[in-house]
């Protein structure tokens, strides 16, 4: 009986150790590297006042250029621009933002995440 | 104990099993052509290039919905007839936990379409996981990790969990001798013509209002008012209620009252979504 008890405990111990080795890699994910997107001066001058890229929004206000992440600060949906009201709208839970990125209404409660825009002579570079 | 409980509705049981089996089989040809690194294009490839690919995709989609529907009916039926009194705590618990597992499999399937709707649903789920205190980030990394590795993990869980659920159900719950009889042939066949005629297209873009999968519309409406972690808890609440049937069989009526109230409120939020 003592030997069986020992084997049971030993088995459970081994099981526990192996589950740790099994589960540890399952919880680990590799973070993707940061992206830098370059828009040349020529292309940039053709763009309208608001430009929606896949992952960011580019807004021109006067001489200033702002870039926002296109992810809604609420739960990460892809934001859209509503030309009728002139606002940036989240399609999932209807949060609304001005084109300068300020929060107006909806569940998001935060302003849009601003990205750094690097201006050079040849164009602009947005870092995501 | 036997005399207190009713008999399970065998038609609903067979229907839920048959749609589940159809779903499994129709998933096989899709899995051979699906590439999780290149999801949207491979789904389009299945639709356009592969022989009967569109048909199998429709059938897979439809039978998954039907499985969920009949499984829900089967669960309500077993509660209504008081069958949880016959089960041990563990076996009732495992059976009840099969249900959220099945929901998760269906949800991962919804993400694997990789159209705009699936993408939104995935991102929302991911961020909701991250809102859970302490374990949220681990759960996100384990179950979805969509923003880091794309749909790779989602696809793996879709396959692994459907395999495990099938294994578990056929060992402990479903009796093949009852299901696989020629008398039950039409329980299987009726789904196929519907799969031919009812199309489930990819949804590219819905402008300013996007809609999630039908069983999560209520949650989507709730998220407009409540914090994400609270909504997550509310989604888990029915599982806790269902589990407690086995712990507190004497209070079954009160539990059923809570469950029905929950379903009514949730459906009202779902309907509200379309008028908001």
pLDDT digits 0-9 by tens, A64-74:
888 999 999 98
| Residue for token pair 């009840």 | B96
Distance CA A20, CA B18 (A): 38
Distance CA B147, CA B165 (A): 27
A15 to A5, A12, B141: CA distances (angstroms): 15, 5, 23
Classified as helix, coil or strand, A37 is strand
The confidence score (pLDDT) of residue B2 equals 60
Output Rg (C-alpha) for chain B, integer angstroms. Answer: 19
- HSE (side-chain half, CA atoms, 13 Å) at B117: 19
In this structure, CATH architecture of domain B2-201+211-275? Up-down Bundle (1.20)
- List the A64-69 sheet strands across, edge first: A50-52, A56-61, A64-69, A114-115
Residue B81's Cα: distance from chain center in Å? 23
Among candidate residues B244, B233, B242, the one with its CA nearest the CA of residue B260: B242
Structure tokens at A29: 């994910």
B155 to B66, B68, B141, B144, B213: CA distances (angstroms): 21, 19, 14, 9, 18
ipTM over 0.85: no
Mean pLDDT of B235-242: 92
Structure tokens at A24: 């540890």
Instruction: Decide which of B265 and B116 is more confident.
Output: B265
Within an 8 Å CB–CB cutoff, is residue B241 touching chain A?
A: no
Q: What would the pLDDT profile of A104-125 be if each residue is shown by its tens digit? A: 988 888 899 899 888 888 888 8
pLDDT at B1 over 70: no
Q: What would the pLDDT profile of A6-37 be if each residue is shown by its tens digit? A: 999 999 999 999 999 998 898 888 888 888 88
What's the pLDDT band for B58 if we cut at 50, 70, 90? very high
The confidence score (pLDDT) of residue B173 equals 92
In this complex, which of A30, A74, A91 lies closest to B207 when CB atoms are compared? A91
pLDDT at B22 over 90: yes
| Residue for token pair 């992440």 | A69
Q: What would the pLDDT profile of B158-175 be if each residue is shown by its tens digit? A: 999 999 999 999 999 999
Chain B environment of A92 (Cβ under 8 Å): 120, 124, 210, 212, 220, 223
The confidence score (pLDDT) of residue B240 equals 92
Check if the beta carbon of residue A93 is closer than 8 Å to that of residue A83.
no
Is the CB of A77 less than 8 angstroms away from the CB of B145?
no
In chain B, domain spans: 2-201+211-275
| Residue for token pair 């999560």 | B216
Among candidate residues B70, B78, B76, the one with its CA nearest the CA of residue B19: B70
CB pairs under 8 A between A and B: 64
pLDDT at A60 over 70: yes
pLDDT at B31 over 80: yes
pLDDT at B83 over 90: no
What's the pLDDT band for B179 if we cut at 50, 70, 90? very high
pLDDT at B114 over 90: no
CA distance B268 to chain A (A): 17
Within an 8 Å CB–CB cutoff, is residue B126 touching chain A?
A: yes
Within an 8 Å CB–CB cutoff, is residue B152 touching chain A?
A: no
Distance CA A117, CA A44 (A): 13
First and final C-alpha spacing in chain A? 63
Q: What would the pLDDT profile of B67-79 be if each residue is shown by its tens digit? A: 999 999 999 999 9
Is the CB of A78 less than 8 angstroms away from the CB of B119?
yes
CA distance B8 to chain A (A): 38
pLDDT at B107 over 70: yes
pLDDT at B229 over 70: yes
CA distance B96 to chain A (A): 24
Best of A74, A89, A91 to mutate (most B CBs within 10 Å, chain B): A91
The confidence score (pLDDT) of residue B207 equals 66
- HSE (side-chain half, CA atoms, 13 Å) at B147: 21
Q: What is the rounded average pLDDT for all residues in chain B?
A: 91
Q: Kindly give the residue spans of alpha helices, DSSP state H, lying in B34-52.
A: 39-48
Distance CA A71, CA A87 (A): 15
Best of B114, B119, B120 to mutate (most A CBs within 10 Å, chain A): B120
The confidence score (pLDDT) of residue B57 equals 94
Report DSSP state, residue A71.
Answer: B
Best of B143, B204, B205, B209 to mutate (most A CBs within 10 Å, chain A): B209
pLDDT at B3 over 70: no
Structure tokens at A93: 């839970």
Best of B121, B123, B157 to mutate (most A CBs within 10 Å, chain A): B123
A 33-62 residues with CB below 8 A of B?
Answer: none
B181 to A62, B167, B176, B186, B276: CA distances (angstroms): 75, 20, 9, 10, 48
Chain A environment of B119 (Cβ under 8 Å): 78
B234 to A41, B104, B154, B241, B263: CA distances (angstroms): 51, 16, 23, 11, 11
Strand pairing report for A103-105 and A114-115: unpaired
């Amino acid at each position: 009986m003592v030997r069986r008890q020992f084997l049971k405990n030993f088995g459970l111990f081994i099981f526990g150790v192996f589950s740790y080795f099994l589960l540890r890699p399952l919880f680990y994910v590799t973070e993707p590297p940061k992206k830098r997107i370059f828009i040349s001066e020529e292309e940039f001058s053709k763009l309208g006042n608001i430009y929606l890229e896949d992952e960011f929004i580019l807004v021109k206000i006067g001489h200033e250029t702002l870039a926002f992440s296109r992810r809604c600060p609420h739960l990460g949906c892809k934001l859209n621009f509503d030309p009728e009201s002139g606002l940036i709208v989240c399609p999932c839970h209807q949060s609304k933002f001005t084109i300068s990125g300020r929060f107006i209404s909806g569940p998001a409660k935060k302003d849009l995440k601003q990205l750094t825009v690097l201006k050079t002579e040849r164009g602009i570079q947005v870092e995501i | 104990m036997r005399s207190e409980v009713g008999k399970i509705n065998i038609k609903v049981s067979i229907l839920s099993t048959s749609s589940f089996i159809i779903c499994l089989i129709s998933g096989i040809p899709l899995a051979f052509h699906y590439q999780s690194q290149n999801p949207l294009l491979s789904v389009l490839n299945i639709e356009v290039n592969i022989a009967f690919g569109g048909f199998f995709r429709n059938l897979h989609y439809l039978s998954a919905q039907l499985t969920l529907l009949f499984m829900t009916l089967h669960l309500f039926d077993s509660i209504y007839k008081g069958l949880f009194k016959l089960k041990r705590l563990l076996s009732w618990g495992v059976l009840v936990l099969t249900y959220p597992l099945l929901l998760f499999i269906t949800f991962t399937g919804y993400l694997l379409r990789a159209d705009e709707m699936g993408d939104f649903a995935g991102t929302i789920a991911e961020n909701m996981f991250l809102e859970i205190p302490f374990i949220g980030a681990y759960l996100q990394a384990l179950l979805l990790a969509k923003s880091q590795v794309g749909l790779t993990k989602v696809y793996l869980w879709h396959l692994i969990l459907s395999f495990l659920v099938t294994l578990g159900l056929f060992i402990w719950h479903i009796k093949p001798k009852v299901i696989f009889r020629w008398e039950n042939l039409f329980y299987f066949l009726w789904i196929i013509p519907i799969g031919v005629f009812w199309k489930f297209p990819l949804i590219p873009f819905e402008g300013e209002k996007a809609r999630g999968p039908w069983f999560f519309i209520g949650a989507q409406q709730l998220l407009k008012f409540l914090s994400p972690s609270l909504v997550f808890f509310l989604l888990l609440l029915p599982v806790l209620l269902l589990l407690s049937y086995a712990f507190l069989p004497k209070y079954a009526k009160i539990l059923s009252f809570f469950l029905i109230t929950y379903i009514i409120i949730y459906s009202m939020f779902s309907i509200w979504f379309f008028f908001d």
